[in-house]
Amino acid sequence: PHNNGVNGMASHQIPDIKFTKLFINGSFVDSIKGRTLETVDPRNGEVIARIAEGDAEDVEVTVKAAREAFDDGPWPRMSGSQRARIMHKFADLIEQNLEELAALDSIDGGKLFLWGKSVDIPTAIEYLRYYAGAADKVHGEVLKSIRSLHAYTLKEPIGVVGHIIPWNFPSIMFFLKVAPALAAGCTMIVKPAEQTSLSALFYAHLAKKAGLPDGVLNVVTGFGHIAGAAISNHMDIDMVSFTGSTEVGRLIMQAAATSNLKSVSLELGGKSPMIIFDDADVDQAAMLALNGVAFNKGEICVAGSRVYVQEGIYDEFVKKLVEKAKAWKLGDPFDSSTCQGPQIDMKQFDKVMSYIDIGREEGATLLTGGKRWGTKGYYIEPTVFVDVKDDMRIATEEIFGPVMSIMKFKTIEEAIKRANASKYGLAAGIVTKDLNVANRVSRSIRSGIIWINCYFDFDADFPYGGYKQSGFTRDSGMDGFHKYLQVKTVVTPLQDSPW
């Protein structure tokens, strides 16, 4: 076991790393070229494992296996309830390994162990169970024609899916995509983020143990511009489902367009507004706002990084927020009193720090934070800027770190207008006791999810995704299921029928 000197942490809680190879057609294998890549513990920058680095050749072999499993294998032909049984078994096995999986995401991604144990892994399990429940409820419609035709629709699995997933929620993202595709009867290749592939490989192992037929769920670890690009350019993949940056989303859509016009689902960046009205409970609002930007170290696409506060409570809000930000505890993700662990890697650390410099240069006032925390690892203090203008880069660009921009507003109309003045449209928060205000603002904001007097509250049944350049289609909920199904219309003539 790797116990990298974690305070108060029993060494057995830090897991052995058992799976580091590609998972193709039911077996763990080295990459064809034998290459590996390093995976690093963001608490200290130390290499914790080397994992297989797949490339286009490995993707080729994998797609062949997934294609065969789709064209000739049992998975798409089973009844929905048979698929559901295997998915429930898969979920049971995750439950039995819950702590180990949470610990893997913590050492791999700097994520809070307690959260992993109580939220991330249980949510992953919930996705499997939710979509298992949908697997046997796939049916089309009988269509009423004005002519003498009998027609109906069939819902069929879309085929071989490529899932390209990010590093901020390795387990939730994995099942958010894999679970509905499994339920639909698809076969798939998953490319986890190169920074956080360990839990994905563990899930592949558990899938096999649960009885998932070979070739249905394959995991190819590797770099985005190599393995990821090979997936999005592949001629025999029917759909690519991507979550990540807007920049890479564009590349994936281009690749899909120039290859085989595969179906594309994109969940991309955000710069989500949180709008706090004068009648809000200031303590609650300050906590929601701080959590909205510092939860998961701000590495969350729906982070509420633009905070609009109505003028009547502005001063009091800022005072409380700064107090809370100063009390927000950074530290080891395995320590149960820690609120925030390290950023994922050096690249993201540098990016966030450079945005803090940009904020200062643009003339915003830094009230708290702005510095690295500790002497090793990639920790950044929660950082609060005021005197921020709407067109500053810190107020318009996605930072993906614990950096908040606070802006003052007077009227509801102004708040709506300014909140909507973004190229993104992923989420928004509203804090008010006035139902009419909450209703009006939620209907006026162009984003995929609105939280009223709460933030980050998700459920397997809630669809989410983007408006504008935050992407299109929805993940989660039944909307996140239907995109993995094709609709086929079957028409026959009706003869001698009374109607």
Q: Segment near ligand ADP (CB under 6 A), from 132-140, 142-150, 222-230, 467-475?
A: 222-230
Number of helical (H) and strand (E) elements in the chain, helices listed first = 16, 24
Least distance CB 283 / ligand ADP (angstroms): 33
Q: Segment near ligand ADP (CB under 6 A), from 145-153, 162-170, 287-295, 478-486?
A: 162-170
Listing DSSP states for 192-207 in one string gives --TTS-HHHHHHHHHH
Nearer Cβ to ligand ADP (75/242): 242
Q: Segment near ligand ADP (CB under 6 A), from 89-97, 198-206, 223-231, 286-294?
A: 223-231
Count other Cβ atoms within 10 Å, centred on residue 137.
12
Nearer Cβ to ligand ADP (215/244): 244
- In the list 84, 87, 119, 229, the residue contacting ligand ADP (rule: CB under 6 A) is 229
Nearer Cβ to ligand ADP (162/429): 162
Q: What are the residue ranges of helices labelled H in 338-434?
A: 346-361, 393-396, 412-420
Rounded Cα distance between 409 and 200, Å, is 44
Least distance CB 233 / ligand ADP (angstroms): 8
Question: Does residue 161 interact with ligand ADP by CB under 6 A?
Answer: no
Rounded Cα distance between 311 and 161, Å, is 49
- Token duo for residue 306: 């633009």
Beta strands in 137-236 (DSSP E): 142-144, 149-157, 160-164, 187-191, 217-219
Taking a C-beta distance cutoff of 8 angstroms, is the pair 101, 118 a contact? no
Least distance CB 224 / ligand ADP (angstroms): 2
Taking a C-beta distance cutoff of 8 angstroms, is the pair 117, 169 a contact? no
- In the list 177, 191, 297, 306, the residue contacting ligand ADP (rule: CB under 6 A) is 191
Nearer Cβ to ligand ADP (229/313): 229
Coil, helix or strand for 79? coil
Rounded Cα distance between 384 and 305, Å, is 10
Q: Segment near ligand ADP (CB under 6 A), from 14-22, 189-197, 285-293, 426-434?
A: 189-197
Rounded Cα distance between 181 and 365, Å, is 47
Nearer Cβ to ligand ADP (229/307): 229
Question: Does residue 189 interact with ligand ADP by CB under 6 A?
Answer: no
Question: Does residue 164 interact with ligand ADP by CB under 6 A?
Answer: yes
267 is catalytic: yes
Phi, psi for 54 (deg, rounded to 5): -80, 150
Question: Does residue 194 interact with ligand ADP by CB under 6 A?
Answer: yes
Rounded Cα distance between 375 and 476, Å, is 39
Nearer Cβ to ligand ADP (354/439): 354
Least distance CB 486 / ligand ADP (angstroms): 24
Question: Does residue 165 interact with ligand ADP by CB under 6 A?
Answer: yes
- In the list 119, 160, 183, 252, the residue contacting ligand ADP (rule: CB under 6 A) is 252
Considering the candidates 53, 267, 299, 381, report the single residue annotated as catalytic. Answer: 267
Question: Does residue 333 interact with ligand ADP by CB under 6 A?
Answer: no
230-249 mask for ligand ADP (x: CB under 6 A)? --x-----------xx--x-
Rounded Cα distance between 490 and 150, Å, is 8
Give the count of residues interacting with ligand ADP (CB under 6 A).
Answer: 17
Listing DSSP states for 414-439 in one string gives HHHHHHH-SSEESEEEEE-S-HHHHH
Nearer Cβ to ligand ADP (225/319): 225
HSE-CB for 146 with a 13 A CA cutoff: 0
Closest to 333 measured CA to CA, from 59, 8, 2, 61: 8
Cβ contacts of 96 within 8 Å, gap of 6 or more: none
- Residues with catalytic roles: 267
Instruction: Give the interface with ligand ADP as residue ranges (CB under 6 A).
Output: 164-166, 191, 193-194, 223-225, 228-229, 232, 244-245, 248, 251-252
